[in-house]
Structure 1
Amino acid sequence: MTSKPTIYSLAEELGVHPATVSRAFSRPELVSAELRTKVLALAEQRGFRVNVAARQLVTGRSGLLGLLVPDIENMYFTTLFHSMSRLGAAMGLSVVVTDWRFMETQQAEIFDRVLGVVDALVVAAPRDDVMTYMARRRKEVPLVFINRLIPGASCVVVDNREALWQLGDEMLAQGHHAIAAVAGPTDSWAAAQRINDVESWARARNVELTVLGHCEPSIHGGIAMAGAVEQSGATAVFCFDDLMASGLIKGLQTRGIRTPEDISVVGCDDASVALVTSPSLTTVRAPYDELAEQVMGAVTGLLKSPEATRQVSIDGVPILRESLGPAPHAGPRTSTKKAGTTR
């Protein structure tokens, strides 16, 4: 019977010290990329699996990075999770995700539960009522917030202001003057930022903006807003995110209202739904890979030094697609194509 592979048998086969093999799994930044590749390849070949509990007892680290999200079905968070997992694998970290959508009133309890089993924790879009509580606990474990600025904490946010302004200017260039915005959840920091950005654009351009909502950031939430959008008389609409925008387009279609011929619709995030929505969705792209890189960089910095906090802002990118077109009875105008790219 073949004996079970161990750190010691791998080390002997590679001609290195067992501690070197251990570091390849627990502290990959301390070994060369070439050596770690060899260790991982041999471990896979021999069927070696790390005992997470034993490693945590010896090193104090589990090799797990927690990611708390409000809704994993939202493609924004799914795409972010995939990018973080890819980068985490190269760092020797496995990303484990917790969706608190059905346990919103228990966010603090879930947060406490996860703290004890991960090396670091990334929290995406925390609610107002638990954000302060989480921020106070950041000394207990490396903690990074996404799409929420918290003084003294490591945060990575996407700044959509310039991109939303450019898409607003594109609406004007296409002859739109009756413009609405569907706001996101009342307790969402990102929702407040986005509606403020759209309102500041409207003031700067002397545009009368109708703000509707607040609306749940989901396809069903967007569908439910179709009646209000129709009654507003708007010919172009900003939506909090792509799920909401996709649902709004569907809701308008059921009312016999076409996009973009009757009402143009703009989303935000450039989640995968933006491409499969018909018509394809004009939106603001969140640079997911760069966002994940900055998040993982913040995690690495905190693992090395708990005081190494950083706050990073990444610019969103305007993406022009089919859902934004000329206003009804307005011929095509000169496009402000500097606003972004088209896919």
Structure 2
Amino acid sequence: MPTRDRDRAQRAEPAGDSPDPGRTPTIHDVAARCGVAASTVSRAFSRPERVNPATRQRILSIAAQMGYHPNPIARALPSGRTRTLGLLVPDITNPFFLDLIRGAERAAATAGYTLVLADTEETSQQETTVVDRLTGAVDGFVLASSRLSDARLREVYAKTRLVVVNRRVRPVPGVLIDSATGTRQAAEHLASLGHRRIAYLAGPRASWSDARRWRTLQAVARQRDLSVVRIGPLAPTVEAGVAAADAVVLNDVTAVVTFNDLLAIGVLRRLRARGVDVPGQVSVVGCDDIFGADFCHPPLTTLTAPIESAGRSAVDLLLSLFDGDEPGAPPRQDVVLPTRLTIRDSTAVAPTTGPDRSAQDRAGPVSAAH
């Protein structure tokens, strides 16, 4: 601290009038009251080791009396940091992403960062628009279940710090929920119950984790001599599950594995409306174990995923990139989080026949892609 500022602060009485009632005090108001330069007030908050301890204590005390709080954006200008992070999710109404957001928000707050949240509406176009708008305005991004192409993700990573969730694109660091292992557990669980013909209700076409689960199901089918049929791609919603349940009946399967719990819940609703017993005639397995999965009728067998932990891990991984790494630096180790199969009442021993085909005349339009 310059000697003249220290001397002025030590001998000066509070100077100047208080800000007008209702007006937020500024750094200049605090400086005038303390008898120091505005730059000294700034250092007292941002770089306290460069200010005389007595002077700093006086500045902080008077600032508190005046109700002054530093502007985080203004403090970030010299360093180029905004202390904000961008979190992009495909669908903010999906309970899966609500848990992920909660975990990310807690990790960001603990580290002193603010989270900027954007819903990209399951489209790569909207995701691209949001990334372009926020690049430079945030210190880095977490892209959850990104719908961008591999090439586009590498372009973003070359310009800014980036972590992806449920995606593997070298050299972009990521957090992976290992649903492939859980999918294998689900398929082997159904096989152990005697199911030989299984439907998979696929998620969005651009979903990386969806393709991984389908490959896993096919591999288990070859090993266990099962028949699997793919229905979709489908929007990961309850409504899409309701519509897809008709295709399940037409394919005469005894078990269904779905991309997520919302699709599974839709299937349960439609099969119940059609008079198809679950699990007596068709077993249903979901994925994610979202809030409410155990409240279904019947309670849903599903893959339990550490969703909130994925949000925390993604922010922690992103913040670790600030420790000297430049955008586009060599990849760090991906974080892989395990899943496990939670068995409830929606799965049971396979029936000797498929769903009640006599109920088909009550069914609505069938929409299926294989």
Instruction: Indicate the TM-score class for this superposition, using the shorter chain for normalisation.
Output: 0.7 to 0.9
How many Å apart are 1:174 and its aligned residue?
2.4
Backbone CA RMSD of aligned residues? 2.9
Q: Is 2:250 aligned against 1:227?
A: no
Corresponding residue to 1:272 among 270, 286, 291: 291
Contact 2:102/2:308, CA 8 A, preserved across alignment: no
Q: Is 2:169 aligned against 1:150?
A: yes
Corresponding residue to 1:327 among 350, 357, 368: 350
Contact 1:239/1:266, CA 8 A, preserved across alignment: yes
Query: If the length of structure 1 is used for normalisation, what is the TM-score?
Result: 0.80
Corresponding residue to 1:67 among 70, 74, 87: 87
Structure 1 Cα separation of the partners of residues 117 and 242 of structure 2: 28
Partner of 1:225, secondary structure, is: helix
Structure 1 Cα separation of the partners of residues 347 and 155 of structure 2: 43
Contact 2:241/2:263, CA 8 A, preserved across alignment: yes
Contact 2:85/2:115, CA 8 A, preserved across alignment: yes
In structure 1, the partner of 2:3 is none
Structure 1 Cα separation of the partners of residues 109 and 67 of structure 2: 18
In structure 2, the partner of 1:194 is 213
Corresponding residue to 1:108 among 123, 128, 132: 128
In structure 2, the partner of 1:38 is none
In structure 2, the partner of 1:183 is 202
In structure 2, the partner of 1:39 is none
Map Cα deviations across residues 285-306 of structure 1 (whole Å, 9 max, x no partner): 2212432232122111211123
Structure 1 Cα separation of the partners of residues 194 and 228 of structure 2: 15
**How many pairs does the alignment contain?**
308
Partner of 2:235, secondary structure, is: coil
Contact 2:122/2:147, CA 8 A, preserved across alignment: no
Query: If the length of structure 2 is used for normalisation, what is the TM-score?
Result: 0.75
Distance change >3 Å, CA 113–CA 320, structure 1 → 2 = same
Map Cα deviations across residues 148-203 of structure 1 (whole Å, 9 max, x no partner): 11111111111122222222222123232222111122221111011111111111
Counterparts of 1:1-343 in structure 2, within 5 Å, are: 19=43, 21-22=45-46, 49-101=69-121, 104-128=124-148, 130-304=149-323, 305-306=325-326, 307=329, 309-310=331-332, 311-328=334-351
Deviates more, 1:224-233 or 1:134-143: 134-143
AA aligned opposite 1:144 = V
Contact 2:88/2:127, CA 8 A, preserved across alignment: no
Gaps of 5+ in 1: 25-42, 331-343
Structure 1 Cα separation of the partners of residues 280 and 188 of structure 2: 18
Contact 1:5/1:48, CA 8 A, preserved across alignment: yes
In structure 2, the partner of 1:341 is none
Distance change >3 Å, CA 50–CA 275, structure 1 → 2 = farther
Deviates more, 1:81-90 or 1:100-109: 100-109
Structure 1 Cα separation of the partners of residues 176 and 234 of structure 2: 21
Gaps of 5+ in 2: 1-16, 35-40, 49-62, 354-370
Structure 2 Cα separation of the partners of residues 252 and 59 of structure 1: 58
AA aligned opposite 2:268 = I
Contact 1:302/1:308, CA 8 A, preserved across alignment: no
Partner of 2:104, secondary structure, is: helix
Deviates more, 1:156-165 or 1:102-111: 102-111
How many Å apart are 1:138 and its aligned residue?
1.4
Deviates more, 1:321-330 or 1:214-223: 321-330
Distance change >3 Å, CA 327–CA 64, structure 1 → 2 = same
How many Å apart are 1:123 and its aligned residue?
0.7
Structure 2 Cα separation of the partners of residues 111 and 271 of structure 1: 28
Distance change >3 Å, CA 136–CA 104, structure 1 → 2 = closer
Structure 2 Cα separation of the partners of residues 173 and 7 of structure 1: 70
In structure 2, the partner of 1:27 is none
Contact 1:7/1:22, CA 8 A, preserved across alignment: no
Distance change >3 Å, CA 18–CA 57, structure 1 → 2 = closer
How many Å apart are 1:48 and its aligned residue?
5.3
In structure 2, the partner of 1:334 is none
Distance change >3 Å, CA 49–CA 116, structure 1 → 2 = same
Between the two proteins, what is the percent identity of the paired residues?
33
AA aligned opposite 1:312 = V
How many Å apart are 1:121 and its aligned residue?
0.5
AA aligned opposite 1:315 = P
Contact 2:142/2:315, CA 8 A, preserved across alignment: no
Structure 2 Cα separation of the partners of residues 258 and 45 of structure 1: 69
